[in-house]
Amino acid sequence: MTTRIVELRQGILKKNDELARELRGRFEAAGVLVLNLVSSPGTGKTEFLQRTLKELRARGARAAALVGDLETDNDARRLAASGAPVRQINTHGICHLEAEMVGKHLEGWELGALDYLYIENVENLVCPSSYDLGERVRVALLSVTEGEDKPLKYPTLFNSADAAVITKMDIAEAVGFDRAAALKSLQAIRPGIRVFETSAKTGAGMEEWLGWLEKSASSL
């Protein structure tokens, strides 16, 4: 009996990473800005995205969305009300989206005809951080009702984000939201992160967010 060490030195999620790289190449070639939106349940991600899609369309931009949930197509139906093309991805128990799911749900879509593609991830602040979906921008969302220390509790995800969106700012005062503490915890985990303070209900902060999107899209 002899023993032998077989060296592999490869990423465990190599298959996902390779697929994500392929997708990123396709997105770049098509000139579409792809954003991966990540948050915990109840952040108001769908409401925020609905308003974003609606306003982008009003400005003449072409935007589409993929929505991940364990079950139901409720979110896809809500988002489709904006007039944008939307597809639902049901993961049936899987706690995150993977590059393969994204690739499969893009079939038949002409990417070159889009300016923006939003991927609304499964509501979870842990697992989605490990899975590259080929996005250019990862956006972490947190609402004013969630606690200002959310980024400190979930550093792996917030550290991987390129931008952060604080939602439901219209009720910040009523729920005693400590804005300075929230900004401080975001900056501790991801120094220099761009933060947007928004309300999908009143439209506060949306102008700044949309301007940033347009700027990011034009730099593609």
Partner 1 sequence: MHELSIVSSVVETVMESLEAYPGARVVEVRLRVGALASVVVESLEFCWGIAIEDTPLEGSRLVVTTVPLVMQCARRDQDVELEGLQSFRCPKCDEPCSDLRHGRELDIESFEIEESEIEKAGVKA
Contact residues for partner 1, defined by CB under 8 A:
1-15, 94-96, 126-127, 129-130, 152, 155-157, 159, 188-192
Residue with tokens 């590059």: 99
CA 80 – CA 176 distance, rounded (Å):
34
Q: Which is nearer to partner 1, 94 or 111 (CB)?
A: 94
Q: Which is nearer to partner 1, 14 or 104 (CB)?
A: 14
CA angle 195–63–132, rounded 5-degree value: 60
Task: Categorise residue 137: left if φ over 0, alpha if ψ from -120 to 50, beta otherwise.
Answer: beta
Minimum CB distance to partner 1, residue 23 (Å): 18
Q: Which is nearer to partner 1, 49 or 157 (CB)?
A: 157
Minimum CB distance to partner 1, residue 199 (Å): 28
Cβ-based neighbour number of residue 70 at 10 Å: 13
Minimum CB distance to partner 1, residue 96 (Å): 6
Q: What are the CA-CA distances from residue 101 to residues 9, 24, 163 (Å)? A: 26, 14, 24
Q: Which is nearer to partner 1, 41 or 192 (CB)?
A: 192
Task: Categorise residue 2: left if φ over 0, alpha if ψ from -120 to 50, beta otherwise.
Answer: beta
Q: Which is nearer to partner 1, 43 or 124 (CB)?
A: 124
Minimum CB distance to partner 1, residue 30 (Å): 28
Minimum CB distance to partner 1, residue 18 (Å): 12
Q: What is the 3-state secondary structure (H, E, C) of 29-54?
A: HHCCEEEEEECCCCCCHHHHHHHHHH
Contact present, 144 and 177 (Cβ < 8 Å): yes
Q: Which is nearer to partner 1, 12 or 108 (CB)?
A: 12
